[in-house]
Amino acid sequence: MFERYVVTPDKLFDLNKIDSGFTEDFKSKKDVEEEFHRLRKRLCELQDVLYAEGKRKILIVLQGMDTAGKDGTIKHVFKEVHLQGIKVVSFKKPTEEELSHDFLWRVHKHTPGKGEIAVFNRSHYEDVLVVRVHRLVPEKVWMKRYEHIRNFEKMLFDEGTTILKFYLHISKEEQKKRLLERLNNPRKRWKLHVEDVKERKHWDEYIRAYNDAIFETSTIYAPWFVIPSDKKWFRNYLVAKIIVKKLESLNMKYPEPEKGIENLKID
Ligand code: AMP
Ligand code: MG
């Protein structure tokens, strides 16, 4: 169903060839609004069973260039989900302590427990993206990380974690528009950093790094989805739809009521 968006393992692909403005047959936000609300409600129901059942763990990874909409996706898609059982973790520049350990150390402790959804705003992938682009470690170190990531995610999967990874795909022009919007809107200005504008100069290197990272780590057990994200409404709709479909396929059930409950008298 999502063949168009999922990155097939071992098949070469190039982000430069994927249209970030694609919106299927939808023309505007109005066209998906109703369905998006339904998906959001459905996500709440599914999260409720997930929590009650207390068996499965869900890990959602969000990556993308600055302004691609990682924060916005979290805000809109998970708006109605009960706070119990969901956690959002943002990965920033590593601290001294984090840097003194292996790159997965800080990530592993935030992976979801049973009945939980963890949403990663940036993730262990930064260690083959920003780290590569800015040469923070030698190539022979980051090169090996693809394999470490595959093994790490396989281990999480084998231990009961469902993993979905989303690359929010925007064009360089769309980024310019959004950076300008941040600059010109007093309520958005806090989000703009001098660094973001500098990072933009490395756009092509980032795309190369993303191309390799996604190609190397899209697997059956932890697939990457490339989400056309120039239109925020389409991005939100599509991410919600993929998550709902995946959760539905898990056939989760509320646990059986405790024995003896049928004879209980509550007075
Ligand atoms: P933001 O997501 O806008 O709050 O910014 C977080 C910043 O932390 C981004 O510039 C990331 O590239 C940076 N960052 C996240 N993880 C790492 C990492 N492992 N190494 C270096 N920088 C990182
Ligand atoms: Mg930022």
**CA-CA distance, 200 to 206, in Å (whole number)?**
9
pLDDT at position 210: 98
* 65: containing domain: 22-250
The residue whose two tokens read 């260690």 is 127
pLDDT digit string (tens) for 33-79? 999 999 999 999 999 999 999 999 999 999 999 999 999 999 999 98
The arithmetic mean of pLDDT across residues 112-122, rounded, is 98
Is residue 64 domain-resident?
yes
124, 130, 197: which to mutate for ligand 1, most atoms within 8 A of CB? Answer: 130
Is residue 260 domain-resident?
no
Is residue 100 domain-resident?
yes
**E strand or H helix that includes residue 89:** strand 86-90
| Count of the separate structural domains present in the chain | 1
**CA-CA distance, 141 to 131, in Å (whole number)?**
10
For ligand 1, atom 15, name the residue with the nearest CA.
92
Position in ligand 1 atom list of the atom nearest CA 134: 21
For ligand 1, atom 4, name the residue with the nearest CA.
92
Is residue 261 domain-resident?
no
Is residue 5 domain-resident?
no
Measured in Å, residue 92 CA sits from the centre of ligand 2 at 9
For ligand 1, atom 21, name the residue with the nearest CA.
93
Residue 239 sits at φ, ψ, to 5 deg, of -60, -45
**CA-CA distance, 47 to 86, in Å (whole number)?**
9
* Contacts for 176 with CB less than 8 Å, ≥ 6 apart: 200
pLDDT at position 80: 87
Is residue 102 domain-resident?
yes
Measured in Å, residue 95 CA sits from the centre of ligand 1 at 11
Pick from 55-64, 77-86, 147-156, 226-235: least confident? 77-86
Q: Percent of the chain at pLDDT above 90?
A: 91
Residue 10 confidence (pLDDT) above 90: no
Position in ligand 1 atom list of the atom nearest CA 129: 12
117: CATH = 3.40.50.300
Measured in Å, residue 245 CA sits from the centre of ligand 1 at 30
21, with CB counted inside 10 A (0-12, 13-18, 19+), is: middle
Residue 163 confidence (pLDDT) above 90: yes
Is residue 13 domain-resident?
no
Give me the chain's average pLDDT, please. Answer: 96
For ligand 1, atom 22, name the residue with the nearest CA.
93
Residues framing ligand 1 (Cβ under 6 A): 91-94, 122, 126-127, 130-131
Residue 155 confidence (pLDDT) above 90: yes
C-alpha angle 204/27/29, rounded to 5°? 90
75, 92, 110: which to mutate for ligand 1, most atoms within 8 A of CB? Answer: 92
* Diameter of the chain measured on Cα atoms: 70
Is residue 216 domain-resident?
yes
pLDDT at position 42: 97
Residue 11 confidence (pLDDT) above 90: no
**CA-CA distance, 32 to 207, in Å (whole number)?**
29
Residue 54, CA distances (Å) to 74, 100, 163, 247, 267 in order: 23, 34, 17, 14, 30
